[in-house]
Amino acid sequence: MAYKKIDKYFSFADIAIQNNADKNRSLIFLNKINSAIDWHPVQEMLIKFYPLGKSNKGERPYSPLLLFKCMLLQKWFQIKSDPELESQINDRISFKSFFDMPWDCLSPDHSTFSRFRKRLSKDVMIQINSVLLKQFYKQGISINEGVAVDARLVKSASRPISNKKMEELREKHNSPEGKLDKNGNPRKFIRDLDSDWTIKNDEAHFGLKEHTSVDTRNGFILATTLSPSSHNDSKYLPYVIIYSMHTDKIQVTYADKGYAGVPNREFLALNNIKDGIMRKDNINAKLTDFEIKRNKAILKYRYIIEQHFGISHMYDNGNQARFSKMVTNIIDIMFRQFTFNLKKGARIFTWIGAPRHQNPCQKPHLELKSSWLTADYLSKRFEFVL
């Protein structure tokens, strides 16, 4: 089935808009975004994996790239709901320019956004995020020389209930009757059955846990996923490290004391990755002065992932799940990963004036001024090897 064709034609409105384009901050921002990425590989990935209906009747579907861009706008401009996104697209000139859409063309219906989000898979979003980072790497930006790993708690989209009540709801949902509503139709909306309870700082928490890795040189999000909040942080270090390997081999991994332990140290050693995990006291021995000094050095290098958590909490309500299903929330945080990385990449290109899509064989090595705190520096300054 062919996609809906949207032809952009030149009108008198375009002339008026171009005369005032330098005053439209949203338009300037979105133009920078478009200049920082080649959309064709993303479009090919979406067309390959995005499932469509096989019926030849009815309206043609929208291009998955257009719907994908709509999801990005929702993140960049803190649009809280799909109906509001539809309204904003119909209202804002900069949004339609981002899609190369005529001013009199209406936005897709808000239900289309919801169906598009549900049809995307976790694996496709992982590949799309990797495509973006590989583009940046080919243009000379360092991606994963060092990686910081951490986790944070995310509140459930549903109200807290006891573990006993949760088990009853799960058993009911897994039964044939539990999958139908009162009218006998497939149930569309259910409460969150993936969250559970954990204790942090002597306070009970009901929800999920976000596990994330961030590039320590430029701050790109390399991998992210969710788990029930009771899961141990340490078990997810191999997962986020494996999915952080987009380009060059990872040189060093930094993590707090929650990731300390033989399994993670052995995993890093087997993969020839330097160990930047902070040490902690154990029953048989206290930390030495050397280990305390080492922990302080690593702590200064891990700030960048805390910075990401703070930014996403402030601008995207990152400590609160949007949806009741974990898989939908994972897709949502992967959209956050893509928008965060694309915005950061566009900002870097603005600072350094790098040409777009240059030959990777002739790429310079681009670094920000904040990259002075390297693994080599830490080793020499504190006389230890990571």
Looking up residue 303, the CATH number of its domain turns out to be 3.30.420.10
pLDDT of residue 375: 46
Q: What percent of the chain has pLDDT over 70?
A: 84
Q: Both 228 and 256 in a single domain?
A: yes
Q: What is the mean pLDDT of the chain?
A: 85
Model pLDDT for residues 311-345, shown as the tens digit of each residue:
999 999 999 999 999 999 999 999 999 999 999 99
- pLDDT higher than 60, residue 306: yes
pTM of the predicted protein model: 0.86
Residue 81, SS3? coil
pLDDT of residue 61: 82
Domain end point (choices 120, 140, 166): 120
**Considering the domain boundaries, does residue 194 fall inside one?**
no
- pLDDT higher than 50, residue 359: no
Q: What percent of the chain has pLDDT over 90?
A: 57
- pLDDT classification of 178: cutoffs 50, 70, 90: confident
- CB-based contact 211:175 (threshold 8 Å): no
Q: Both 109 and 250 in a single domain?
A: no
**Considering the domain boundaries, does residue 139 fall inside one?**
yes
**Considering the domain boundaries, does residue 161 fall inside one?**
no
pLDDT of residue 382: 41
pLDDT of residue 49: 82
Model pLDDT for residues 69-93, shown as the tens digit of each residue:
999 999 999 999 999 999 999 999 8
Number of domains in the chain: 2
Q: Both 214 and 336 in a single domain?
A: yes
The one-letter amino acid at 179 = K
Q: Both 61 and 151 in a single domain?
A: no
- What gap in Å lies between CA 364 and CA 366, rounded to an integer? 6
Instruction: Tell me the H-state helices in 64-200.
Output: 64-76, 82-91, 93-99, 110-119, 122-138, 163-174
Model pLDDT for residues 265-287, shown as the tens digit of each residue:
999 999 999 999 999 988 788 88
Q: Both 151 and 273 in a single domain?
A: yes
pLDDT of residue 25: 87
User: Cα–Cα distances in Å, from 371 out to 98, 162, 367, 368?
Assistant: 33, 47, 7, 6
Residue 37, SS3? coil
DSSP state letter for 236 = G
pLDDT of residue 378: 43
**Average pLDDT of the segment spanning 206-228:** 95
**1 vs 32, residue with greater confidence:** 32
Domain end point (choices 120, 140, 167): 120
Q: Both 30 and 105 in a single domain?
A: yes
Give residue 61's domain range.
Answer: 12-120
